[in-house]
Structure 1
Amino acid sequence: MNEHIIAFILGIVEGLTEFLPVSSTGHLILVGNLLGFTGQKANTFEVIIQLGSMLAILVLYWKRYLSLLNFSTIGKPVKKLDAIHIILGVIPAALAGLLLHDFIKTQLFSPKVVVISLVAGAILMIFAEKNHGTFNSTTVDELSYKQAFIIGLYQCLAVIPGFSRAGSTISGGLLVGANHKTAAEFSFLIALPIMVGATGLDLIKSLDFLHTSDIPMFAIGFITAFVVAMLVAVGFLKIIGKIGLTVFAYYRVVLASVFFIYFIL
């Protein structure tokens, strides 16, 4: 298949799945193998298109990120999301990713791990839907520092391929009293720093595999992921409160079954 078509398809897959609780890593591994696009070039390409998804979040929330630079609101009686919320939400997973990066890349990127993670993540999401209490945070501005930190702890699960960063953080958000939209929006906001760090590290290690001849392919994937991710993020926030996480959990089990049949049997 033409590489430009592959780039377009994978860009769509990345944009569709990066901010949904379904594991973008699992989808990219599966679709990449189905298209015969694997190896170091494919790994580098995945890093580039993830940058497209990150740009989508930056464009959607640039005003919110800019407001985080106003440190005068920290500690004020009026509730407002501030930089400390983001820092507390990012630090746990950032430390876990930094300490375990090489181990994750060499030992955990396997179909068996993805299958287990997809199912484990689905169980967590169903548990969160059935066991969350009263929602005391209905906007991100109502989140406490404690809630932000606990959600950040749940994000640590996302270092395991297939678990899904969105799935783990939204589940954590529900369990600490945030409603679906608030948990999803905070998940988006803490995604950017985490993804910048993770993809930046991967990109540095992949520089030797970047060639000018690959620019058209990478550009197609990047732009496609950017556009699709932006549309999906906006749409997801509108529907997550109505449909919840359970439907995504069942989808993950189906995806795990496909993984098991295709890669393991």
Structure 2
Amino acid sequence: MPILLLVVILGIVEGVTEYLPVSSTGHLILATELMGFDADKWALFNIAIQPGAILAILVLYWRTFRDVLVGLWQREPSAFAFVRNLLVAFIPAVVLGLAIGDYVELLLGNAEVVAWMLIIGGFAILLIERLARPTDSGGVANVTLNHSVGIGLIQCLAMIPGVSRSGATIMGAMAMGVDRKTAAEFSFFLAVPTLSGATALQLYKHGATMDPGTGGWILVGALVSFVVAVAVVKAFVAVIQKFGFAPFAWYRIAAGTAALLWLAAR
């Protein structure tokens, strides 16, 4: 398969799955394996194209970020609460990532772990959808400090490939009583520092080992993921408000089961 086609496919997979509760890392690992490439060798590329998905959130919610910046300048309590909640939720991932990041990297090429986590995560979503009693939180700035800490701790589960960062944060927030829309937007905004930090750390640690031509492929993959993520995020919010998260849960279970069968048969 031509490298350009692989890069475009991985960019599409990243853009489609980054903000859905289906695990972008898991899907990138499975996609790489399915196309006959070594997932370990493409692990850094899969992380390095995440800025495309980050940019999608900055573009789609530019008014929110503008209002927060203006609010900080004008010392509005809601703006400070918005930033506080995201920072508090971001810190656990920083601490744990620095502490056990090397161990987590060992799992990034393990397709079997991904398959099992897809299945387990699917059943977890169905359970939370049935038991959660979310109320209207009124936006990210109105999420309590305790809930923000809890969301940050739950996000750390996504270091296991296949868990899904967005799925863990959204469902964790809902389990604590945050409404669907606010939970999804909290996850979107939290992705900006989290994905930026993860990308910067991996490039710092392994950037020197990349082939000279890899930078161009990363730009292509990031651009593709940006375009796709813009479309997906818009559709995602509409879907969860109408149908909830059950469709994504059943998809995870089906995809994980299919992956296990494929891995056993190859």
After TM superposition, what 4+ stretches of structure 1 lie above 6 angstroms from structure 2?
none
Paired residues of 1:179 and 1:241 also in contact (CA < 8 A):
no
TM-score with structure 2 setting the length: 0.90
Structure 2 residue aligned with 1:15: 15
Shift in Å, 1:138: 4.1
The answer for unaligned runs of 5 or more in structure 1 is none
What amino acid is the match of 1:120? Answer: I
Provide the C-alpha distance between the structure 2 equivalents of 1:33 and 1:25, rounded to a whole number of angstroms.
Answer: 12
What amino acid is the match of 1:201? Answer: L
Deviates more, 1:84-93 or 1:139-148: 139-148
Where does 1:114-263 land on structure 2 (aligned, <5 Å)? 114-263=114-263
Aligned length: 262
Structure 2 residue aligned with 1:73: 76
In structure 2, the residue corresponding to 1:123 is in which secondary structure?
Answer: helix
Paired residues of 1:25 and 1:162 also in contact (CA < 8 A):
yes
What amino acid is the match of 1:263? Answer: L
Provide the C-alpha distance between the structure 1 equivalents of 2:80 and 2:142, rounded to a whole number of angstroms.
Answer: 7
Deviates more, 1:100-109 or 1:194-203: 100-109
Where does 1:90-105 land on structure 2 (aligned, <5 Å)? 90-105=90-105
Provide the C-alpha distance between the structure 1 equivalents of 2:144 and 2:37, rounded to a whole number of angstroms.
Answer: 44
Paired residues of 2:134 and 2:180 also in contact (CA < 8 A):
no
Paired residues of 2:47 and 2:198 also in contact (CA < 8 A):
no
Deviations 1:185-224 (A, max 9, x none): 1100011111111111111122123334334433221110
Judged with a 3 Å threshold, the aligned counterparts in structure 2 of structure 1 residues 80 and 205 are, in CA distance, closer, same or farther, namely closer
The answer for unaligned runs of 5 or more in structure 2 is none
In structure 2, the residue corresponding to 1:45 is in which secondary structure?
Answer: helix
Work out whether 1:86 is the aligned partner of 2:81: no
In structure 1, the residue corresponding to 2:106 is in which secondary structure?
Answer: helix
Deviations 1:19-57 (A, max 9, x none): 000011111111111222325552232122212111212
Provide the C-alpha distance between the structure 1 equivalents of 2:27 and 2:209, rounded to a whole number of angstroms.
Answer: 23
Quote the sequence identity (%). Answer: 38
Deviates more, 1:192-201 or 1:214-223: 214-223
TM-score with structure 1 setting the length: 0.90
Paired residues of 1:140 and 1:185 also in contact (CA < 8 A):
yes
Judged with a 3 Å threshold, the aligned counterparts in structure 2 of structure 1 residues 79 and 126 are, in CA distance, closer, same or farther, namely farther
What amino acid is the match of 1:210? Answer: M
Paired residues of 1:73 and 1:82 also in contact (CA < 8 A):
no
In structure 2, the residue corresponding to 1:82 is in which secondary structure?
Answer: helix
Paired residues of 1:124 and 1:168 also in contact (CA < 8 A):
no
What amino acid is the match of 2:201? Answer: L
* Backbone CA RMSD of aligned residues: 2.1
Shift in Å, 1:79: 8.9
